[in-house]
Amino acid sequence: MDASGKGGGRARRALVAGARGLALAVAGFAGSLTLFVLSVLSIVFIVLGVGVLTTPAVLSLVRSWANWRRVVAAEWYGIRIPAAYRPFPADVRTGVVGLAERCRLMLGDPATWRDLRWLLVDMTAGFVTALLPAALIVYPLEGYALAAGLWRVFTDGTHVGWWYGFVPISGQGSAFQAAGLANALLVAGYFLAPALLRVHFLLTRAVLTPESGELAARVQVLTQTRRDAVDTSAAELRRIERDLHDGAQARLVAMGMDLGTIEALVEKNPQKAKELLAQARKSSAEALTELRDLVRGIHPPVLAERGLGDAVKALALRLPVATDVDVDLPGRAEAPVESAAYFAVSEVLTNAVKHSGADRVWVDVHHTGAAGMLRIAVTDNGKGGASIGAGSGLSGIERRLGTFDGILAVSSPAGGPTMVTMEIPCALS
């Protein structure tokens, strides 16, 4: 690549870093400040009883906000920030008692207090580290505008009427000095903006990562997710056995009995034998259909034969709503990862169709080679309100992805749209 190509690539990266930094600074400050205030008020109101009902919901929003930042860090810079939340026991109750229990469990989780500390850091130091790359790219525009004649709006040419950085603007000469400072800032942004935005995410990782016992915390979470995976596999095996016993096996037994009867009647009553033979043929076709459905539920043939991308496209074709699928996978992940991702997408799409009221869904599947991350985003234009909570389908998806150290983030404000983002660290072959 020639020098101009390298320079153009660096300029694009600087501009992207500036735009992303500005978006993070504005959204991060507003979101983190709001959630921090709500969290503090909700926890304080626990002594009045009201906080017991509101704290689980507020802290769930905080976790979703932190998970979204984890996803962005991994997507933009390949920075992995572990989410070491303690999983809820499977038997957490519902109703007011269940809310009180979840409140106790969440407040007893060290990750909750790390999240709250991060909110405080994110709206102060995080705001500055996100805004600085944007300032280096945008602020020079003011210097050039002053040099082009804007200085006349602020001064009469004799008195200082404006400051650009540390340059007092009093006339055309000082306006040219402002342009010189703008050049210096723009050069600094050209070279430093991406690195400065990376500092923002390194700061986020430093605060959100457990200070001590990180490996033990990760092992604890992964042990729990592995246990959940084993329990899920055992339940799936029982379901398969039940479906076989009540479905295909019963039809095959009935078909065997029909064939025995046909053998006895074939000479004595050929007409009756023909009727039973037609019934046996019908039973065999139904048994074959049930077996195919059962196998498809275990591991869809299209997934095994053509990979995750085509399997998701085939899944979308069966939905009753318009679905756009964008796939960018240069290879295939390991079979267990593909299977987990496929069934996670299937569950999310099912939820979108059943509960969101959406009439359009977008699915984006791609792999970021630098970060080694399979990223799937499912967006719908429904009514919103989806959340990760005990007993919800999204909790099951979170446990499924957790088996592979994956991340689930949900953004679903009231009124929509809903965006569910899933990330699984993996390599493609």
Best CA proximity match to 106, nearest among 401, 405, 389:
389
- Predicted confidence at residue 290, as pLDDT, reads 65
- Predicted confidence at residue 6, as pLDDT, reads 58
- Predicted confidence at residue 259, as pLDDT, reads 76
Q: Who's near 99: CB < 8 A, 6+ residues apart?
A: 52, 53, 56
**Polymer length in residues for the chain:** 429
Least confident segment among 15-24, 55-64, 332-341: 332-341
Cα–Cα distance measured from residue 18 to residue 136, given in angstroms and rounded to the nearest whole number? 8
Stretch (H or E) spanning 224: helix 214-243
pLDDT of 198-223, one tens digit each? 999 999 999 988 765 555 655 666 66
Stretch (H or E) spanning 286: helix 270-298
Q: Who's near 339: CB < 8 A, 6+ residues apart?
A: 299, 303
Least confident segment among 150-154, 180-184, 207-211, 296-300: 296-300
Q: Who's near 25: CB < 8 A, 6+ residues apart?
A: 127, 130, 131, 134
**Terminal-to-terminal C-alpha distance of the chain:** 28
pLDDT of 306-346, one tens digit each? 888 888 998 888 888 888 999 988 888 888 888 888 888 88
Spell out the SS3 assignment of 347-395.
Answer: HHHHHHHHHHCCCEEEEEEEEECCCCEEEEEEEECCCCCCCCCCCCHHH
- Predicted confidence at residue 406, as pLDDT, reads 81
- Mean pLDDT confidence for 224-235: 58
Tokens linked to 82: 């572990």
Task: Tell me how many degrees the CA angle 417-24-42 measures, rounded to the nearest 5.
Answer: 70
Cα–Cα distance measured from residue 198 to residue 73, given in angstroms and rounded to the nearest whole number? 9
Residue with the bigger pLDDT between 238 and 268: it is: 268
Q: What percent of the chain has pLDDT over 70?
A: 79
Best CA proximity match to 59, nearest among 105, 27, 20, 92:
105
Question: Does residue 170 have a pLDDT over 80?
Answer: no
CB 153 within 8 A of CB 76: no
Residue with the bigger pLDDT between 86 and 219: it is: 86
Which of 114-123, 280-289, 359-368 ranks highest by mean pLDDT? 114-123
Q: Who's near 104: CB < 8 A, 6+ residues apart?
A: none
- Mean pLDDT confidence for 9-29: 89
pLDDT of 396-408, one tens digit each? 787 778 777 788 8
Question: Does residue 94 have a pLDDT over 60?
Answer: no
Reduced to 3 states (helix: H, G, I; strand: E, B; else coil), residue 424 is strand
Cα–Cα distance measured from residue 295 to residue 156, given in angstroms and rounded to the nearest whole number? 82
Reduced to 3 states (helix: H, G, I; strand: E, B; else coil), residue 140 is helix
Mean pLDDT for the chain overall: 80
Place of tokens 């869904």: 361
- Predicted confidence at residue 352, as pLDDT, reads 86
Best CA proximity match to 74, nearest among 400, 413, 395, 376:
376
Question: Does residue 39 have a pLDDT over 80?
Answer: yes
Best CA proximity match to 379, nearest among 330, 409, 420, 424:
420
- Mean pLDDT confidence for 376-388: 83
Cα–Cα distance measured from residue 292 to residue 308, given in angstroms and rounded to the nearest whole number? 19
- Mean pLDDT confidence for 286-300: 63
Residue with the bigger pLDDT between 28 and 250: it is: 28
- Nearest 5°: phi and psi at 408? -120, 125
- Predicted confidence at residue 96, as pLDDT, reads 54
- Predicted confidence at residue 299, as pLDDT, reads 62
Question: Does residue 21 have a pLDDT over 60?
Answer: yes
- Beta-bridge partners for 422: 376, 408
- Predicted confidence at residue 121, as pLDDT, reads 95
Question: Does residue 292 have a pLDDT over 70?
Answer: no
- Predicted confidence at residue 197, as pLDDT, reads 92
Question: Does residue 1 have a pLDDT over 50?
Answer: no
Question: Does residue 286 have a pLDDT over 80?
Answer: no
Q: Who's near 160: CB < 8 A, 6+ residues apart?
A: 168, 169, 170
Tokens linked to 424: 């699984």
Stretch (H or E) spanning 39: helix 3-44
pLDDT-derived band at 293 (thresholds 50, 70, 90) equals low
Which of 266-270, 310-314, 356-360 ranks highest by mean pLDDT? 310-314
Q: Who's near 267: CB < 8 A, 6+ residues apart?
A: none
Q: What percent of the chain has pLDDT over 90?
A: 16
Contacts 24+ apart (CB under 8 A), 223-229: 224/86, 224/87, 224/402, 225/87, 225/399, 225/402, 225/403, 226/403, 228/87, 228/399, 228/402, 228/403, 229/399, 229/400, 229/403
DSSP 46: G
CB 221 within 8 A of CB 84: yes
Least confident segment among 42-51, 151-160, 209-218, 408-417: 209-218
pLDDT-derived band at 285 (thresholds 50, 70, 90) equals confident
